[in-house]
Structure 1
C-alpha cells in the first residue's frame, strides 16, 4: 500500500510520474524513440458519397431510407434511394462514415472512407440470404431497439466500448466515474452524481428496459465491465421517458462476446480486484457472464485529507449474466440477471469532542468536564475515541429482466419486458460511541422490492410519420425499520439536582432540566402496495429530409406515501441544417414523484423529549417571532424544461457543441443525509429554478482522440415545505430559507472534464482531468468550498508472451498524479452528513489474459 506524508508531496508526484514513464518505456521496442513524428492535419475540403441499394435478386431498390453516421455515431445526413436504387450525399467532410440503408424490415450498413474532393462509392444489399445469419439478425434487433428510443430534441452523450477502454482504469472504472466525463455531470461523495443541477433523479435502463429505483447508497450494482455502450440522455426528453428525468442512462449490454478474459487489477489502498468475462454464441443462442470481487481500504471518501482513511475497509462482489435466443429471424427472447453484495466500514473522523452530558449520564458521575472539550472519555471501563468508532453498512442489490423483442411486417418493432429488483441497506451503529458523540445510536434498515412490466411499440404509419407508444407499471413494497437508543430529557421534581455536568437548563418553575437514562425506541414503517403506472404516445414526424419533429403526451400516476398524477406534453425537433451542422430544441413537462424507498415516514411524536427530538415545535406555521416547523409529507415535483443546442463539425476530425437549458420546478425535490447512516431522505422546496450552459469539444484523427467539456450551472430554491423537522432542525436556518432563494447544496457552478489518448509504438497513452468549482456549505448553503482538480494518467498495451500462451493486456493508471487535496464536503450545509475528501495519489496495475473458447 502506498502512503504519502504531507511533507513528501513533491517526491510523491515525481515518484508517480517516474513510475508511469518507467512502465511506458518498458513496453516500447528498443528502436521506438527513433520513430518519426507524425503531423496531424485536418482538411476542410468536402467529398461526396454516391451509392446504390439492391435487393436479394440484385435489382435496384427504390424508397430505401439512408442515414449517414459519423465516427461518433451521430446522424449527420439523410437521403432516400430513387427508383433506380441510387442515392447521393454531397458536402461531406473527409473522414470515415457508416452508411445505413433500411426498407421495411430489411437493413444493412457499410463503412465508407470519404476523401477531400472525391466521390466515394457505397453498395448495400437488402433482403439477401446474408440477412438470415445470426450476426446480421442481431444488428437488426439493435436497430429496432434504437427505433423505440428516439432522442429528438434532447441532449445525448455516448460512451462506446472503445471510449471506456481509453479511460485510465478501463473496464475497472467505477460506473459513476465514467459518467463524470460527460458535460454537466458533477461529482459528490458516496457515489452520488448530479446531472444539470439536479439531486440524483436519475433513471437507469438496460437495453431500453427500466431499472427500478433502489435504496440510495454508494454501493453500485452496475458494473462498467458488462456495458457495450453507455448513453446519457438529458434535457427535454421525449414522451417515453418519465418519472426520473434529470438523466436517463441507457446501457447496452455486451451480447456477442465469443471468448473470455480473466484480469487481476490492484495497487494502492490495498486494492485487489480480480474479474472475469465469458461469452459464447452457439447457433441461435448467446450467453455472456461477468463477475468481480473488490477489496480495499478506501471504500468511502476519506473524512480527512490524509492518504489513508481510518476504518474504511470494503468488500464488494458483483455478477452479471445475459442470455438470448433467436426464436426466428424476427423474434428474440432475452434474460439478464445482476447482483451485488457490499460491506462498508464507515470512516471515522479523528479528534472529535465527546459530549460530556452524554458521558456523565452513561457513567453516572461528573468525571467528564465539558469545559475542556475532551476528545475521548472512559465509559464502562473502555476508552471511547472518535478514531475507534465501529459503524458499518451492508448493501445488497439484485435485479432481473425477461424481454421479448420482435420485428414485424412493415417495419413494426416491439419490446415487452418484465423486471424485478430487490434492494436493501442495513446500517449498524456503534452502540456506545454514537451515544457519546451524537446522543443517539440507531440501527437502520431499508428494503425495497419492485415488480413491473414495460411495453414499447413503434410503427411507421407513412414515410413521414412513425408512431411510438408504450406503458410501464410497477408495484413496490418498502420497509423503513429504525431502532434508536436515545437519552430522555426530563424536568426534575422540586428538590433533586442533576448529575454534575448534565444540566440542560430550567423549566418554567425553575427546576433543572436533566438528561434521563438511555432508552430504545422502535420506529418501523412498512408501506406495501406502492404503485406507479405510465402510458405515452408520440409521433416522429419527418417534415423534410433534414427536419424531424417529435411530439407526444405522457400520463403518470403514483400512489405511495402520497398520491399524484399528471398529463405531460412533450415536443422536440432536430434539424440537420447541413451535413456539418445539427440543431435541436425541445420542451418537456415533467412529473417526478419522491423515491418511495427513501421516504421513512418516521413518527416524530415518538421522539419528543429525547435527544432525537426536533429542535423546533411541530404543528404550527412559521412567523417572524415563532420559528417552528411542520412535518408535511414529501410531494411530487412538477416542472417545465426547455432545451436548445447546436452541434457543428468544423472538420472531419473536430466537432463542437453548445447546449442551453432552463427548468422551473414547483415542490422541487432535494435529498440530504440526516444522520450517520449513509441513506438519503427526500424533502421539498416550494419552488426552484435550474439553468445552465454546456460547451463540448471532440477531436479524433488517426491515433489521437481528445475531448473537452465545460458546464456552467445554477440551481436555487426557496421555502422548505415538507419533512421540515428532519431537513431543518435549526429554526434560524428554516426561517432564512423560507424568505430567501438559496443555492442547493449540490450546486456546482462550473465543471470541466477533458481527456486525450494517443496510440504510439503500439501503446495507448491517456490523460484525464476534471475541475469542479466547489459544492455549497455553511449556514443555508451560503458558503462555497474550494475548487477540486484531479488529473489521471494511464498507459496500456498488448504484449505477445509466446505462440503457446498468446498475448496479455497490460495497464497502468496513476490517479490524482498531482496528489491534490480535494475537499468534496466539509460536513456543513443542508443535508450534508460528514466531511469527505477525494482520493490522494494512487498507483494501480492490471494484467488481463484473453482466451478463446
Structure 2
C-alpha cells in the first residue's frame, strides 16, 4: 500500500472513531463578524442573543457586559445579523469574505433599527472578491462545471477545453475547505470538484494576500463544501437527460451520528460531446465521469472543530478527431477508426482541526492533506502514425503515436493562526507540500524504433507568510504582508515577496483601492518535455529539463462602491509583468500539455463588475479589456537558445482576448421563492489566429445560456426540476485555430438538459 493510501486510511479511521463520540459545524474558509449592541441611549446591552443567518448557516452569540459580540468563523457569503432584547430589536446585512473583519454597530430600538455593514469595507470584502452562494449556483445554467462558475467574474476568459485563463496567463489556484487542491501540468479535463457539492464558491482575481502563493495565481478559487450545516438532514435523487447524449444521476444524503454531521454526494454522467472538437461537428467525443464526496464535521466543543473531506473521481474521455483531409481550419487529419482515450483518476483527503479563541476574535487551524492524481493516455498507436498535417502547400507532415501513464501524489501540511484586535488583524502560517511523480511514456515514430521514456521525480514546496490588516483610522486599512516561497524538483528556486494593499473609504460605501504584490510560481513536476522534444525532432534527441520558476509583479488600482446592501460594483485597472512565464503547448497530436518558459510576459487591462443579490433576484455583470503578450520562447520543447533581452518582441498570447464580457440575471418567484429563471450571456472578441506571430484574430462570438426551474421542497416532499439550455442560439465558433502550438478547437453546439429532483 503506497503512502497516499495509508494517509487516506488513517484519515477515514480517525473520522469513524470520532463519529461515535452540539455546536454547529462551520466551514474552514472564514471571516470574522463582530460588533457592539447598544440601546438608543448608546449604553451597551449585555446578555442579549445575536443571530447570524445565511444560506445553510445559522449562528448564535451572546453579548458581554460591554455589549460586544463576535462570530469568529463565518463562511464567506451574505448574512442577516439580528438582535432582539428588552430594549427592542436591531438588524444589519453583512457581506463576509475569507479573512475579512466585519465590524457592526447595532442599535436596538422599539421599532426595528437597522445598521448596515457595507459590502466593501476597509477591512471587509476585498475589492476583487466575488462569491457565489448555493442558491445562486443552483440557478446558473452550467452549474455542474466549476470552470463555468469561475468564468462569470471579470478578468477570466473561457479558453479551449473549458480552461479558465485569468488576467492573461494560464493557471488558477484552488482550495477546498481551506486545504489546497494542487493542479498537475499535463492536461486534465475532469473538474476538481462538482460545484453542486458546494455551499459557496469564492473567487479572488487580484489583490492576493500573502497567504496565497507558490503556484500560478491567475486567480484564487475557494470552495466551501456543503451539507454539514446544523440541522440539515435528508437527501435527494436527481435524474437528468438531454441533447448530445447527455445523461446524469446525482444522489445526496445528510445525516448526523452523535455529534458528527455527515454529508454524502454521488454523481455520474455521460455525454456524446465531452471535449472541444477539432471539427464543427464532433467525431469520437464521448465522455463519462463519476465522483463521490464525503464530509464529516465533528464539533468537539463550542470552540473546537474537526472536519474530514474525502473525494474520489474517475473520468474517461474519447479524444475527438478530424477526418476531413481538406478542412482549412483543422489541418491535422486522423485515420478513420482512430480510438485514443484519456482516463483520469483523482483522490483527495484533508483533515482539519480548528480551535477558536476564547474571545471569538481568532483561531488556530491545522490541516494535513493528501492527493493522488493519475492521467492515462491510451493512444491508438497503429492509426496515430497514419495521421498527418496538411502544410497548405500540398505537402504533409506525418504524426506520431503516444501512450502515457502519469501519476502524481501529494502530501501536505498547512498551519495557520489568525487574531483580530481593534486595529490589527494578523494572520501567519506555513504550507509544506511534497510531490512525487512517475511518468511512463511510449512514442511510436514511423520508420524508427519505439521510444520509451520512464521518469520519476520528487519535489517540494514551502511557503511561510505573515500579514496584517492594520486600521490606523476608521476609514483606512493597510493590508501588508510578506511571503517566502521555496521549491525543489527538476529545478529549484526561492523568492521573498512583499504584498501591500491600501483601502481608503473616501465616502460612506466608496473605497479607493491600490495593491502591489510579488508572486512566485514553481514549475510542476509532471514533465513531458522530453516526449515533446522527441515527437518534434527524433528519438535520439536529448531531454532538456530547464524550466525556471515564474516570477510576477502585479499592480492593481481601483474604486469600489456599495450602492445598497446586496448591490455593489467596482472598476479596476491592472498591470502584470512576469519573467520566465510558464506556458503550455500541446504534445504532438494529443491533448496532453508540455510546459515551456516565455522569457518575459505582460498583461495590462481594466475590468468592471456589478454584483447584486436579494431574496428575489441575483445579478452579475462583468466586462474586461486586456492585452496579454509574451516573447522569448526557448528551452524545453524548443531546441533553440533564448533571445537576448533587446531582441525580444512581445506578441499576443494565444489566449489573449481583448474584450470579454458576461452577465447573468436570475429572478425568483412563486411559493417560497423556490421557482427561478436565469438568462446568461457571454461575448468575446476572439483569440489570435497564430501564437506570438501576427495580429490576426478569430471572429468575435456571442453565447446565450438559460435555465428555468424550481427547487425541491423537502418539507412538502415536492419535486424540483431544472431545464437548462447551453448555447441557446446554437452558435458554433472557432475557439482556437491550429497554430503550431495547439490544435484546432470548436465550441460545443446547443444542449438542452432536463433534470428532476426528488427530496426526502
Once residues 388 and 519 of structure 1 are traced to their aligned partners in structure 2, the CA distance between those partners, rounded to angstroms, is: 24
Once residues 823 and 737 of structure 1 are traced to their aligned partners in structure 2, the CA distance between those partners, rounded to angstroms, is: 35
Partner of 1:764: 676
Conservation of the 8 A alpha-carbon contact between 1:53 and 1:85: no
Conservation of the 8 A alpha-carbon contact between 1:153 and 1:586: no
* Cα offsets for 1:264-311 (capped at 9, x unmatched): 1120111110001111234521100101001110111122223xx211
Change (3 A) 1:305 1:761: same
Pick aligned residue for 2:734 from 813, 823, 845: 823
Pick aligned residue for 2:574 from 641, 652, 661: 661
Matched, 1:218 2:189: yes
Matched, 1:672 2:588: no
What displacement does 1:582 show?
2.4
Pick aligned residue for 1:238 from 209, 233, 257: 209
Change (3 A) 1:99 1:678: closer
Partner of 1:483: 442
Matched, 1:586 2:515: yes
Partner of 2:173: 203
Matched, 1:602 2:530: yes
Pick aligned residue for 1:192 from 163, 172, 188: 163
Pick aligned residue for 2:263 from 288, 294, 302: 288
Once residues 605 and 712 of structure 1 are traced to their aligned partners in structure 2, the CA distance between those partners, rounded to angstroms, is: 36
- The residue matched to 1:225 in structure 2 has which SS? helix
- 1:15-54 to structure 2, matched below 5 A, reads 54=45
* Cα offsets for 1:411-466 (capped at 9, x unmatched): 34111011111111111112221111143211112211110101000134x52123
Conservation of the 8 A alpha-carbon contact between 2:260 and 2:298: yes
Conservation of the 8 A alpha-carbon contact between 1:152 and 1:573: no
Change (3 A) 1:705 1:334: closer
- The residue matched to 1:577 in structure 2 has which SS? strand
Partner of 2:454: 524
- 1:804-823 to structure 2, matched below 5 A, reads 806-823=717-734
What displacement does 1:54 show?
3.4
- The residue matched to 1:292 in structure 2 has which SS? strand
Structure 1: gaps (5+ residues): 1-47, 79-83, 90-94, 125-149, 355-373, 377-384, 488-516, 619-629
Conservation of the 8 A alpha-carbon contact between 1:720 and 1:738: no
* Cα offsets for 1:197-248 (capped at 9, x unmatched): 1112x11111222122235311113111111110011213111111232211
Pick aligned residue for 1:56 from 42, 47, 67: 47
What displacement does 1:838 show?
1.2
What displacement does 1:326 show?
1.1
Conservation of the 8 A alpha-carbon contact between 2:142 and 2:149: no
Matched, 1:270 2:199: no
Once residues 328 and 808 of structure 1 are traced to their aligned partners in structure 2, the CA distance between those partners, rounded to angstroms, is: 37
Conservation of the 8 A alpha-carbon contact between 1:390 and 1:430: yes
* Cα offsets for 1:16-48 (capped at 9, x unmatched): xxxxxxxxxxxxxxxxxxxxxxxxxxxxxxxx9
Partner of 1:7: none
What displacement does 1:574 show?
2.3
Aligned residues: 670
Matched, 1:258 2:233: yes
What displacement does 1:63 show?
7.2
Once residues 273 and 607 of structure 1 are traced to their aligned partners in structure 2, the CA distance between those partners, rounded to angstroms, is: 38
Partner of 2:487: 558
Change (3 A) 1:539 1:267: same
* Cα offsets for 1:310-361 (capped at 9, x unmatched): 111111111110001111111111111111101111111122379xxxxxxx
Partner of 2:349: 400
- Which range is displaced more, 395-404 or 238-247? 238-247
- The residue matched to 2:450 in structure 1 has which SS? strand
Change (3 A) 1:432 1:589: same
Partner of 1:465: 424
Conservation of the 8 A alpha-carbon contact between 1:153 and 1:550: no
Change (3 A) 1:240 1:607: closer
- The residue matched to 1:776 in structure 2 has which SS? coil
What displacement does 1:587 show?
0.9
Conservation of the 8 A alpha-carbon contact between 1:814 and 1:844: yes
What displacement does 1:839 show?
1.5
- 1:338-737 to structure 2, matched below 5 A, reads 338-352=311-325, 386-410=335-359, 411-437=361-387, 438-460=398-420, 462-487=421-446, 517-528=447-458, 530-597=459-526, 599-602=527-530, 610=538, 631=544, 633-651=546-564, 654-700=567-613, 703-725=616-638
Once residues 609 and 691 of structure 1 are traced to their aligned partners in structure 2, the CA distance between those partners, rounded to angstroms, is: 36
* Cα offsets for 1:791-828 (capped at 9, x unmatched): 01211125889x9x820001111221111112111222
Matched, 1:121 2:113: yes
- The residue matched to 2:325 in structure 1 has which SS? coil
Change (3 A) 1:776 1:421: same
Once residues 105 and 757 of structure 2 are traced to their aligned partners in structure 1, the CA distance between those partners, rounded to angstroms, is: 32
Partner of 1:751: 660
* TM-score, scaled relative to structure 2: 0.80
What displacement does 1:640 show?
1.1
Conservation of the 8 A alpha-carbon contact between 2:368 and 2:412: yes
RMSD value over aligned CA atoms?
Answer: 3.8
Once residues 254 and 460 of structure 2 are traced to their aligned partners in structure 1, the CA distance between those partners, rounded to angstroms, is: 37
Partner of 1:329: 302
Change (3 A) 1:660 1:340: same
Once residues 737 and 352 of structure 1 are traced to their aligned partners in structure 2, the CA distance between those partners, rounded to angstroms, is: 42
Change (3 A) 1:735 1:563: closer
Partner of 1:623: none
What displacement does 1:154 show?
5.9
Once residues 252 and 454 of structure 1 are traced to their aligned partners in structure 2, the CA distance between those partners, rounded to angstroms, is: 17
What displacement does 1:55 show?
3.3
- Which range is displaced more, 444-453 or 431-440? 431-440
* TM-score, scaled relative to structure 1: 0.72
Once residues 65 and 314 of structure 1 are traced to their aligned partners in structure 2, the CA distance between those partners, rounded to angstroms, is: 52
Change (3 A) 1:458 1:608: closer
Once residues 167 and 222 of structure 1 are traced to their aligned partners in structure 2, the CA distance between those partners, rounded to angstroms, is: 16
- 1:67-86 to structure 2, matched below 5 A, reads 73=77
Change (3 A) 1:397 1:799: closer
Once residues 751 and 204 of structure 1 are traced to their aligned partners in structure 2, the CA distance between those partners, rounded to angstroms, is: 23
Change (3 A) 1:119 1:714: farther
Once residues 234 and 427 of structure 2 are traced to their aligned partners in structure 1, the CA distance between those partners, rounded to angstroms, is: 37
Partner of 1:382: none
Partner of 1:501: none
Partner of 1:12: none
What displacement does 1:575 show?
2.9
Change (3 A) 1:823 1:603: closer
What displacement does 1:122 show?
6.1
Once residues 423 and 498 of structure 2 are traced to their aligned partners in structure 1, the CA distance between those partners, rounded to angstroms, is: 21
What displacement does 1:691 show?
1.4
Conservation of the 8 A alpha-carbon contact between 2:285 and 2:318: yes
Once residues 846 and 607 of structure 1 are traced to their aligned partners in structure 2, the CA distance between those partners, rounded to angstroms, is: 44
Once residues 642 and 321 of structure 1 are traced to their aligned partners in structure 2, the CA distance between those partners, rounded to angstroms, is: 39
Change (3 A) 1:112 1:389: farther
- The residue matched to 1:312 in structure 2 has which SS? coil
What displacement does 1:722 show?
2.8
Task: Compare CA radii of gyration and give the structure with the larger one.
Answer: 1
Conservation of the 8 A alpha-carbon contact between 1:211 and 1:419: no
What displacement does 1:780 show?
3.0
Change (3 A) 1:344 1:800: closer
Once residues 248 and 788 of structure 1 are traced to their aligned partners in structure 2, the CA distance between those partners, rounded to angstroms, is: 27
Change (3 A) 1:251 1:765: same
Once residues 436 and 252 of structure 2 are traced to their aligned partners in structure 1, the CA distance between those partners, rounded to angstroms, is: 34
- The residue matched to 2:261 in structure 1 has which SS? strand
What displacement does 1:721 show?
3.3
- The residue matched to 1:409 in structure 2 has which SS? coil
